[in-house]
Amino acid sequence: MDTADFLQTLDREGRLLAAAAEQAGVDAKVPTCPDWQVRDLLRHTGMVHRWAAAFVVEGHTSYQPGGGLPDLDGDELLAWFREGHRHLVDTLASAAPDVQCWHFLPAPSPRAFWARRQAHETTMHRIDAESARGGTRTEIAPAFAADGIDELLRGFHARAKSRVRSAEPRVLRVRATDTDGAVWTVRLSQEPPVATRDATGDADCEVAGPAAPLYVALWNRLPFPQVTGDAAVAELWREKSAVTWG
């Protein structure tokens, strides 16, 4: 996938998120994030959109904290979210390909990083909004889901702050059954996980399924479609893999 694909996804997913949130109402509970109501989801995601856009617009070359959550609710909160989402999409669409700013995972360029990261961020929170609304969840393209799995395993959890650690070395295999080449081997130890995109060696546990539900499950929004081998390794992922703000 290229930056244009990610921008198209970011645009669509933000609009879907807002529509689902409006249908659910800001008081609705978010089943995929049990501590949240829809207002919390809108405030958080809207803040992240503005935070990301500021790096590109202002050219910050080091980490900057987010701007805080707004004291808004109801229709005003929905309008604020939509405004911030539109600003992010327009900012990334119009940014120079060689724009320089801070980013926190390997990428071909800062612009490519932020387009990809915010496409996945917004998709996952769209899933949250749709869980609050109820009904049929919007489908996720297998290629995009496989990219999201790759970003999570070889990006987020390659960082020192990953809490997925095991006192004894363990190997988790992650396999998307509907996407060619979408298999990962994740080696767990007392150090940050080491993930490679291959099926090398034996695994203690394998989680598998179509790319979309597997992607959502790895972000702890759904159960794993299929678990074989030592289920304790999959449970370790569940317990330790949450990615938190800040």
Q: Distance between CA 77 and CA 231 in Å, rounded?
A: 42
Query: What percentage of the chain exceeds 90 in pLDDT?
Result: 98
Q: Distance between CA 220 and CA 211 in Å, rounded?
A: 14
Average pLDDT for residues 37-54, to the nearest whole number? 98
Band (pLDDT 50/70/90 cuts) for residue 238 is very high
pLDDT at 246: 59
Beta strands in 103-182 (DSSP E): 170-176
pLDDT at 243: 87
Average pLDDT for residues 13-19, to the nearest whole number? 98
Predicted confidence (pLDDT) at residue 234 exceeds the cutoff of 80: yes
Let me know if 68 is exposed, middle or buried by CB neighbors in 10 A (0-12, 13-18, 19+).
exposed
pLDDT tens-digit map of 178-227:
999 999 999 999 999 999 999 999 999 999 999 999 999 999 999 999 99
Band (pLDDT 50/70/90 cuts) for residue 244 is confident
- Backbone dihedral region of 157: left (phi > 0), alpha (psi from -120 to 50 degrees) or beta? alpha
Q: Distance between CA 200 and CA 4 in Å, rounded?
A: 33
Query: What percentage of the chain exceeds 70 in pLDDT?
Result: 99
Predicted confidence (pLDDT) at residue 86 exceeds the cutoff of 80: yes
Predicted confidence (pLDDT) at residue 108 exceeds the cutoff of 80: yes
Q: Distance between CA 203 and CA 221 in Å, rounded?
A: 24
SS3 127: helix
Verdict on whether the full-model pTM lies above 0.95: yes
Neighbours of 133 (CB within 10 A): 19
Name the strands in the sheet holding 183-188, side by side, starting at the edge strand that comes first in the sequence: 194-196, 183-188, 170-176, 205-209, 226-229
Q: Which of 140, 127, 139, 141 is nearest to 24 (CA)?
A: 127
The residue behind tokens 């590109």 is 56
Amino acid 227 reads: V
Q: Which of 9, 15, 14, 71 is nearest to 43 (CA)?
A: 71
